[in-house]
Amino acid sequence: MRNRNLEQPERIRVESMLIVVFTRQLSSMLTSSVPILQSLETLSEQPEDPVFGEVIDSCADKLQQGVSFSAAISRFPLIFPPIYQTMVQIGERTGSLDESLSRLALWLERDVALRQRIRGALTYPGFVIVLASLMALTVFYTIMPTFVSIFEDMQVELPIITQIMLGLTRALRNPPAVLCMLAAAMAAWTAFQGWRKSPSGSLQFYRLCKSIPLIGSMLVFGGVARYCSAMEALLVSGTTLTSALRMAGNACGDPLLQADSAAMVQSVSDGNLLAEHLSKRDDIYPSTLRGMLSIGEETSTLPEMFGRTATYYELEMNFKVEALGAALEPLMLGVVALVVATVILSIFLPLYSSLGQLA
């Protein structure tokens, strides 16, 4: 065994897919009656990520010292979040760790796939915006400087669009001005990130994103799907309803659901039905979710209803992702065309005006 010191284990992160593969492999090995210590020693060989291999090796060391697996992984909360630790702990108590890990792997696979689809849908517009910005900078550095001297020699009144383009050209070719703009952009980005990561800022930013057509509904459906999927996995594993509500709210990635989880737990603890609380917050919980969970409580099939609801909202989110891609493609092409048209107009309008004066 390796015996390396993992400094600050609470800050270690690894790729989500590595955790999915590890959980699936460990579940398969335990199902095949391989002892957990031997399984961890085998899985500690991680050529894709040596750090993750050391994490698994460290957990194996703890097991040799008599520590439970759930306690060993609790030292790495960014790799194994509370929902993971709880399901492992339940599996240890009930003697069905392999089944708990199998359910965990299924939940993690669905969760990673959902996040990847959401990121993929939001990556395309960002890529096009960066491309348009690079095109504009290339024009300002290669083409516009030639026309700056031409327009200065023409001694004609320049249109406002041309004046703006020439001002940007002079600013971008002036190192002090460029440094000032970069410093201002970095300061603005840092301030924005600080605001977005604050509790109030994250809620405000999420509400702003919810108001954007297609993107808002995609984020809502994705958050609800992750929430319901986590609830199903937790309840099937034997987690109490209040604990499951708290952990699923933290795991779903929806700031509104996370902020409301404490109130929901309190309402259920006071003896109210889950559907009663959801009906009071129709601004957060979609009507389909409220209806499905109401049926689940009436028929005592709440875990199954959470699973069906998760599947429904995953399909809805996939539809929104496809619709977003179809809508964004012409929109982004329009953005690029607008940039090109603006540059062309800023060049040819004064030239056309000058030719008119010569005529």
Q: Answer yes or no: are the C-beta atoms of 12 and 76 closer than 8 Å.
A: yes
The model scores a pTM over 0.75: no
The type of residue at 270 is D
Listed residue (75, 81, 83, 78) closest to 59, CA to CA: 75
What pLDDT, on a 0 to 100 scale, did the predictor assign at position 3?
45
Q: Answer yes or no: are the C-beta atoms of 323 and 214 closer than 8 Å.
A: yes
Strand (E) or helix (H) holding 283: none
Alpha carbon separation from 87 to 82, 138, 161 (Å, rounded) = 9, 54, 61
Residues of the chain with pLDDT under 70: 1-6, 46-47, 148, 152, 154-156, 353-359
Q: 111-359, which class in CATH?
A: mainly alpha
CA 70/CA 283 separation, integer angstroms: 37
Q: Answer yes or no: are the C-beta atoms of 124 and 325 closer than 8 Å.
A: yes
Residue identified by tokens 């000058």 is 354
Is there a common fold for 9-80 and 111-359? yes
Residues 6+ apart with CB under 8 A from 245: 231, 261, 264, 265, 268, 274
Q: Tokens in use for 27? A: 């579940």
Using CB atoms within 10 Å of the CB of residue 71, give its burial: 0 to 12 exposed, 13 to 18 middle, 19+ buried. middle
Radius of gyration of the chain (CA): 28
> What does the chain come to in residues?
359
CA 219/CA 227 separation, integer angstroms: 12
Q: Tokens in use for 347? A: 């060049």
Residues 242-285 pLDDT 10s: 888 988 888 787 888 888 888 999 999 988 888 888 888 888 88
Superfamily of domain 9-80: Type II secretion system (T2SS), domain F (1.20.81.30)
- Delimit the domains of the chain by residue range: 9-80, 111-359
DSSP three-state, residue 163 = helix
What pLDDT, on a 0 to 100 scale, did the predictor assign at position 132?
73
